[in-house]
Amino acid sequence: MLLGHSVGCQAALRALAELPPGLTIAGLLCIASWWTVDRPWESLRTWSNTQLDFTRARAAAGCVRVLISDNDPFTADHEDNRRTWQERRDAEVTLVPGARHFNGAEEPAVLEALHALTADLMRADPADPNFP
């Protein structure tokens, strides 16, 4: 399982897209993830202006879950962000009201999502053809 936060989600997807065919991970949890940033600064342009092989990234990760906020200061259109995750990755997206960019000292929604994904992956049967 892999966990990414903000631009770390972009890094995780790009790493997955570079895995050799057939090599996979069971799950990916993306927190405060984005496809566009309202006012990107220069170091972010590298991430948002480069192509990503969605087919390879999709094949390399089984279950993908995403946590976004309705008031993230970097990407205001959370509905577009949700739709994009669902279209590009068929991700399960959870909107956490008021979580901003998930930078708090404690983030209960993140811990809950991590526990839930871990539990789901532990219950999964690797012999099942639908196993991630």
Domain 2-101 has what CATH class?
A: alpha beta
For residues 73 and 100, the answer to whether their CB atoms sit within 8 Å is: yes
The pLDDT tens digits for 6-57 are: 999 999 999 999 999 989 999 999 999 998 889 988 888 877 777 889 889 9
Instruction: Kindly tell me if the per-residue pLDDT of 86 is higher than 80.
Output: yes
> Quick one: pLDDT at residue 125?
65
For residues 95 and 70, the answer to whether their CB atoms sit within 8 Å is: yes
pLDDT-derived band at 129, boundaries 50, 70, 90: low
Residue type, 48: S
Instruction: Kindly tell me if the per-residue pLDDT of 131 is higher than 60.
Output: no
For residues 4 and 28, the answer to whether their CB atoms sit within 8 Å is: yes
Q: Average pLDDT, whole number, for the chain?
A: 90
> Quick one: pLDDT at residue 128?
63
